[in-house]
Chains A and B, each alone.
Chain A
Amino acid sequence: MSAALTDFAPNHYGDAGTKRRLRLAMYVALAPFGLALLGYRGAIGGDAAGGWLAFGLVFAPFLALALAYIRATYRGSTPGIKNDGVQVHELSGRRVGAYLLGTAITSLYVILYWFPGALTGVVQVMEPLSQALRKGPADQWFFYGFLYTAAVIVMGIRMIYRYRHNKYQIFRTLSVMFFQLAFAFVLPALLRAFNQPEFYFTYFWPLKYDYLFPGSFEYLWKQSGGVGMFMFGWGVIASFVLTPLLTWRFGKRWYCSWVCGCGGLAETAGDPFRQLSSKKLKAWKFERWSIHTVLVLIVVLTALLWVDLGRISNDYKAWYGFFVGAALSGVVGVGFYPLLGSRVWCRFFCPMAAVLGLFQRFFSRFRITTNGDQCMSCGNCSTYCEMGIDVRAYAMQGKNIVRASCVGCGVCAAVCPRGVLKLENGKTHKDRFEGAEHPLADLLGALKKK
């Protein structure tokens, strides 16, 4: 039996008329983008004002209208959890629109990776910004970085508006917006302008896997002078000192939902899709295999490159780059947001998440505590968990939640209508759950079980 929702206008917040008009205007504002895709910037302003006219025409109206739409949606609502209609919404409820959107995003990734020629028009439109920031010509990756950052900022504003009653969500969202804009977009561009290696200080091995490859060592340490040495050193320290230390202290969340760019996109542009992640036990079983497999693959690859087996190593590297680096993190990871939820990559494939997860599960102080017997099993927490954790299964029994995959987004605690959940860093890692006093024995036990 199901109780199908027949008569439903998904969330009625704001003024429906205004929102309809804004939506129409957004479709219209996409036209210059389409024109740029088809042709070249000449069609939309060309070199006028140094190319800025075309740039402005393609991006400004759409972004402004998107912001106006967000404002129109949430302005009229009282501060609080506003998930009305999420399950039946055209885009977030796995309806036709979701498939179309998924296809569009997936196609964009396929084009980016394998048919960049098709993007010549829009890449040209990026030219003035690229010149201003990077002192060099635009390419498809600059266009992608811009789009990505814009999505994090605009949808981050939405997230903040939506959760304006919740300071944890506000701070966390501001943090990912800042790290994306400053460290993943502006800084690498400026580095390039100053003829330095384009380095991302917020991405570490094994996520940015090539940072610890011998090639990077050659290039950064040996050829790029002091700045390059610093960068390579930073990469090593971040991976082997910072990551364990901060994860021990705060849990995986310090990275996954406060700093990481993939996480940043998931927490902003991905927020409307978080409820789509599968909560089934089967999905959890798959996750434990897949994510640790990728971790093993990248560790082996890195080792092979250092040992240098010549062709084998390089073929393997190309293969990993294709399957994990491009197909899984981009095409599947983001393209499938509207169908499988916002954290497909992070949950099933990200090797960084695997490492952080092992630390979190066995050595961290972080846990989600439950408030005694107050849970009434409604399922909001599990439904809105983007990592597919069945939070309710623990909350119902009054047990703390210590799971490798938890990115600490805090949305379970936010949506719980009975105030049952709280993200906490305890004084030690030992009091998280029964049996947690012996993390090493626990780890060995978990290995044996597998």
Chain B
Amino acid sequence: MLFQKKPGRHVVIVGNGIAGVSCARALRRRDKQARITLVSGEGPHFFSRPALMYIYMGHLTYEGTKPYEDWWWQKQRIGLRQAWVTHIDTQKKWLSFAGEAGGLGYDQLVLATGSKPNKFGWPGQNLERVQGLYSLQDLQTLEAVSHEIQHGVIVGGGLIGIELAEMLHARGKKVTILSREQSYWDNALPREESLMVSDVIAESGITLHSGTELKEIVDDGQGRACGVVTGTGEKIACEFVGLTAGVSPNLSALKGSEIPTGRGVLVDFSFRSSVEDVFAIGDCAEIVTPEGQRNRIEQLWYTGQMHGEVLADVLCGDDRTYDRGIWFNSAKFLDLEWHTYGEVPPAGFPVRPGLRQVYWQAADKRHAFRLVLAGDAVVGVNAMGIRYRHKVCERWIAEKRSAEYVLNNLKEGNFDPEFYHRYEGAIVSSLRAQVAQAGGQA
């Protein structure tokens, strides 16, 4: 079904994160007439969510995390509305807001409401001084209790967990991370890299308890957290508990609506829900896959941007479906940078049969490089402490280049600053030997 472009239609986007904003921008570029409104309860303006940590650490101001100056929205004729959506009436095409009698009508509705931190029903999870890190409001509540914190316990050793740990550490607080995994974030990283990050964490003075679960959070008698109890019954005193055990789609706007949801808002590969004129993108969308594969929920900045751009085309009548392309991601673990491209099997899950891996690590335990091979073709690149070019790695993988080819051209992929020590020589000789060994590392 293609959509009729009604001139002057009103497209309302709930959520002014990367997904909603990318959609609004791309739509405005193609449709000069549409009325576009971005609604969000969090704040009037788009800011970079991954930059939250830098506000708290004093690297950036909140203003500095906004990619567009405040006047820009008016120039683009994108309306901004700060309000929490409490109800969606898909019959009347009407949104209701918290604390407001009126509301807002739409012709087409885009849900881009993002995520919320997971809480797994731990006793004490709703106490004061217990929170996740997702929104500006989270940052404010954290700021408000910061002066009371001497020791913070972070539950969940993922990306947001280590960021929250770094934030508290930057303010001179003692930090302990409790992580269920065997080593740091091993459901995303291969073992060696995961151990390398664990080492970086230890060097910084942050304590990491791997293989440790949270059992309960202890009340100090005044409704505030004063410690945690771990799965083994160990008690750890603390004045703050950060819950960073993943995020899940934020469906608060959809309560009582007719829009079908699973874990997220159920949509097809063009981001259409089954309700006419209702769409969902970004973290909150659950893309229904055919043939009984697990539905896709993508909780990344990059994917949110792509969702938004694809949906803008769909809204303009194109018959377009979303293709994520070759996987990529990056992060920084304290001082250690990570670039990953293609398929890199994490340590915490069984590896797909037929994959072979070759790995090099520098003696300083701060630089590493891994190639993942299927047959002779490179399907994944993982680099720690060395920057690699997205477009080059993507091309290697797309063109199914052999390990030999990639190693011969490895320098082309390096993206480190000028004068940096080049590790390509060491990498190539080490990996070449491993590739030559029949079978390599299983």
Contacts and interface: CB of A to CB of B under 8 A. Distances in A.
Given A3-B143, A79-B335, A167-B419, A376 B61 contact: no
A374 B394 CA distance: 12
A236 B51 CA distance: 48
Interface string A1-35: 11111111111100000000000000000000000
Given A379-B65, A414-B417, A419 B387 contact: yes
A10 B305 CA distance: 34
Q: Chain A binding site: helix, strand, loop or mixed by DSSP?
A: loop
Given A6-B146, A372-B390, A378-B54, A12 B170 contact: yes
B170 A84 contact: yes
B60 A378 contact: yes
B337 to A, nearest CB: 5
B33 interface: no
Interface residues of B, number: 56
Nearest to A418: B330
B389 interface: yes
A383 B60 contact: yes
Contacts of A373: 302, 305, 328, 390
A83 B67 contact: no
A281 B44 CA distance: 20
A377 B58 contact: no
B334 A80 contact: yes
A311 B47 CA distance: 57
B48 A5 contact: no
Interface string B43-57: 110001011001111
Contacts of B394: 372
Contacts, number: 161
B294 interface: no
B140 A3 contact: yes
Contacts of B328: 372-374
Interface residues of A, number: 56
B415 interface: yes
B417 A371 contact: no
A167 B143 CA distance: 36
Contacts of A414: 417
Interface in B53-98: 54-67, 69
Nearest to A1: B43
A78 B203 contact: yes
Contact of A380 (B54, B140, B339): B54
A83 B57 contact: yes
A392 B51 CA distance: 13
B332 to A, nearest CB: 4
Interface of B: 18, 43-44, 48, 50-51, 54-67, 69, 136, 139-140, 143-144, 146-147, 170-172, 203-204, 301-302, 305, 328, 330-332, 334-335, 337, 339, 387, 389-391, 394, 415-421
- Which 7 A/B pairs are nearest by Cβ-Cβ distance? A372-B390, A80-B335, A378-B51, A419-B387, A12-B172, A167-B419, A85-B58
